[in-house]
Amino acid sequence: MPNEAKRAAYAADITYGTNNEYGFDYLRDNMVHSREERVQRGLSYALIDEVDSILIDEARTPLIISGQADDSIALYSQINTVAAKLIAQTEEEGAGDFWVDEKNQSVTLSEQGHEHAEALLAESGMLTEGSSLYEAANITLVHHLYASLRARNLYHRDQHYVVRDGEVTIVDEINGRMMPGRRWSDGLHQAVEAKEGVEIQKENQTLASITFQNYFRMYAKLSGMTGTADTEAYEFNQIYNLETVVIPTHRPMLRKDNMDKVYRTAREKYAAVILDIKDCQSRGQPVLVGTTSIENSELISNLLNAEKLEHQVLNAKQHEREAHVIAQAGRPGVITIATNMAGRGTDIVLGGNPETDIEQVKQDGKLSEAQKTAAIDKLKAEWQTRHDAVLAAGGLHIAGTERHESRRVDNQLRGRSGRQGDSGSSRFYLSLEDQLLRIFASDRVSAIMEKLNMPDGEAIEHPWVTRAIENAQRKVEGRNFDIRKQLLEYDDVANDQRKVIYEQRNELLEAADVGETILAMREDVLVSMMASHIPPDSVEELWDVPSLERELKAETGLDIPLQAMLEDNPDLHEETLRERLLDAANSAYTAKEDLASADIMRQFERSVMLQSLDNHWREHLAALDHLRQGIHLRSYAQKNPKQEYKREAFELFEGLLNAVKSEVTKVTMLVQVKNEADVEAVEKPLEVENLQYQHADYDEALANPADDAPLGEQPQVRAGIKVGRNDPCPCGSGKKFKQCHGVLN
């Protein structure tokens, strides 16, 4: 969408749009080079529809804008062949090269696997003979190898992604929609591409990123609505400070929710589902079959085809038609298979939605008014008969073929039936082979089944079982909440810094004159430069004037005969020398300004600052990313990773500010601009190829320390000198370390 259209949309009293668009527009607004390019005008009040989906499900991953960076593409396919030769362990401590932990979504190489991988890598020439994977030079190899193993063992085709037109497209786990243009980060996407043998695209560099939590918390007032918020009320309160209020229904709810049926095998489960569907269809009752993945949708579709039952499939592959199909899913005897939340926001009206047909008649130019009215009445009457027939058959029936990780999503599926006091029913069919039961609840439920001495093909249906499954879901929900909370805690650090940078950036864009800032920066840089050669309050014997002269010449182009000045003027001391230095710099700068014009100089200053800020911020983001990935290892050094992250991120940020200062000073002092053309040459914004907008995969960063156990076996070496908790803090505040930078929260 062109910027003018976007700006107009935001200038309107009311703006409609998707969560991603709002977030990305915010980030893009903070990448512009002039104030006029911005599209948003402040964040005052936001009303979020399907708030649970946006603030909870989608909040597991941040929004990222990235561009492509240089990367060796051949490496991915080479690593892929190596990863293909490694063998998975069947039990955690058994024989094999690596262990796949589905619960934690992680892969860990065993000792044997390391040796095997090293041998394979050496064989293909990627690793020099005799060197180890642990060496600093091979960190990229390890990173790629893990990415490849994850891609091969945790990411499955048609479940996590689809391959279409020679491209790997991510499928949203929550709603089963395809997300073209989105890519997993950290080389995972390339690893998946290598695995599928499609063309590998270049790795991305993060240009800007934000989490939904931090974006939406910027609104002065925030509210949301949904059908299912109550189970997540605690999280809304904790993270967003939003209270949940259950609003009474207009008419009482009549839907009948049956107990879960649990089978031993998936085969028996599907047979039972088909039987249920057939029964409904024969009675003219519409059925909505809910699945958790495209794969399952297709499986059921095939089974129904075998039975010659007509049906519609709603999944990521047909999103254009979703809304229309779902609107008609309430017609008598219609069978609809849908992934989670397919066609969300569209009501299933019993008897089908007559509005589209009526609208067609209304638009028909050939009919007279009377004919139209007659046709509409006829359509309405037909709908009434259908509606009554469906009601008599018991309303819409929901057949869930699997429990989702979260109770909320199951409730959403159920909620499709029984709208506005209509009758309806629902039932979930499960098997012990389902992922959720297999990982989280199998022991308990298997034990129950064993105790009851169940014959094959028979299902159990008991409140205990339903409760055990709900407990399993609660466990997963709790885990996911922790993931989101951790993501937020880490992002909070970046968020504070982002606020500072964006504020600074906005000031730059707003301000006509940044001359004073430049001056202040210059003085800061010169003072600290001088301090590094002439230590404050030191005797003259310690001064290193020649090297200060050299550095001044190199960094600022100033050629000041300091040594000669000192010899001529024995009274000169530190302070007067500093004054002379600053004066010399200022007059040199004024001379530059005279050569150009004040206007051009101001423009030049601004664009230099803007670019320097942007470039360093981008590098800072990558550095933070890197820091976050390795930070969990700190727990082996008996340190709190979050604490360490905060501390180091702060140091990095300080480094960023200093780097910006010296770069801006250096450029403004060394480069001479004469006219507009010179400024434009500097102003040219960085061209980034192929901007991508994505939701990244954060699992890696937030994974358990256990993931990297082999790395942990090496003794940790402390980088600097150890600072004891009771020692004075190295920052020089005079406080004890434990009360200053080492404070634990």
Partner 1 sequence: MISTLFKRIFGSRNDRLVKQYAQKVLSINAMEPAMQALSDEALKAMTEEFKQRHANGETLEQLLPEAFAVVREAGKRVLGMRHFDVQLIGGMVLNAGKIGEMRTGEGKTLVATLPVYLNALTGKGVHVVTVNDYLAKRDAEWMGKLYNFLGLSIGIN
Residue 675: CB atoms within 10 A of its CB come to 10
Q: Could you identify the residue written with the tokens 């980060």?
A: 185
Name which of 292 and 665 has its Cβ closer to partner 1: 292
Name which of 15 and 643 has its Cβ closer to partner 1: 15
Taking Cα atoms as reference points, which of 118, 76, 195, 102 lies closest to residue 710?
118
> Least distance (Å) from partner 1 to the CB of residue 424?
10
Helix or strand holding residue 169 (H, E): strand 167-171
Q: Beta 63-68 vs 45-49: how paired, if at all?
A: unpaired
Secondary structure class of 425 (helix, strand, coil):
strand
Name which of 3 and 112 has its Cβ closer to partner 1: 3
Look up residue 161 and give its DSSP letter. Answer: E
Half-sphere exposure of 441 (CA within 13 A, CB side): 27
> Least distance (Å) from partner 1 to the CB of residue 709?
39
> Least distance (Å) from partner 1 to the CB of residue 511?
24
Name which of 14 and 539 has its Cβ closer to partner 1: 14
Supply 273's token pair.
């589902």
> Least distance (Å) from partner 1 to the CB of residue 323?
6
Helix or strand holding residue 335 (H, E): strand 335-339
Asked whether 63 and 23 are in contact (CB, 8 A), the reply is yes
* 148 CB-near residues (< 8 Å, 6+ apart): 76, 79, 80, 82, 83, 191, 194, 195
> Least distance (Å) from partner 1 to the CB of residue 425?
15
- Residue 179 sits at φ, ψ, to 5 deg, of -125, 75
- Please provide the DSSP assignment of 81-127 as one string: HHHHHS-B-SSTTSSSSEEEETTTTEEEE-HHHHHHHHHHHHHTTSS
Name which of 16 and 453 has its Cβ closer to partner 1: 16
> Least distance (Å) from partner 1 to the CB of residue 29?
12
Name which of 239 and 436 has its Cβ closer to partner 1: 239
Asked whether 170 and 184 are in contact (CB, 8 A), the reply is yes
> Least distance (Å) from partner 1 to the CB of residue 218?
11
**Residue type at 89 in one-letter notation:** Q
Supply 421's token pair.
């006091």
Name which of 7 and 311 has its Cβ closer to partner 1: 7
Name which of 208 and 460 has its Cβ closer to partner 1: 208
> Least distance (Å) from partner 1 to the CB of residue 392?
20
> In Å, how far from its chain's centre is CA 101?
22
* CA distances in angstroms from 699 to 76, 439, 712, listed in the order given: 20, 18, 19
* 576 CB-near residues (< 8 Å, 6+ apart): none
> Least distance (Å) from partner 1 to the CB of residue 324?
10
Taking Cα atoms as reference points, which of 655, 588, 593 lies closest to residue 620?
655
Name which of 29 and 203 has its Cβ closer to partner 1: 29
> Least distance (Å) from partner 1 to the CB of residue 738?
40
Supply 191's token pair.
């690893």
> Least distance (Å) from partner 1 to the CB of residue 398?
11
User: Alpha-carbon distance 256 to 426, whole Å?
Assistant: 6
> Least distance (Å) from partner 1 to the CB of residue 341?
8
* 556 CB-near residues (< 8 Å, 6+ apart): 525, 526, 585, 665, 666, 669, 670
Residues in contact with partner 1 by the rule CB under 8 A: 1, 6, 8-19, 21-22, 25, 39, 41-51, 53-54, 175, 177, 219, 221-230, 233, 236, 242-250, 253, 322-323, 344-345, 347, 415-416, 418-420, 422
Name which of 187 and 354 has its Cβ closer to partner 1: 354
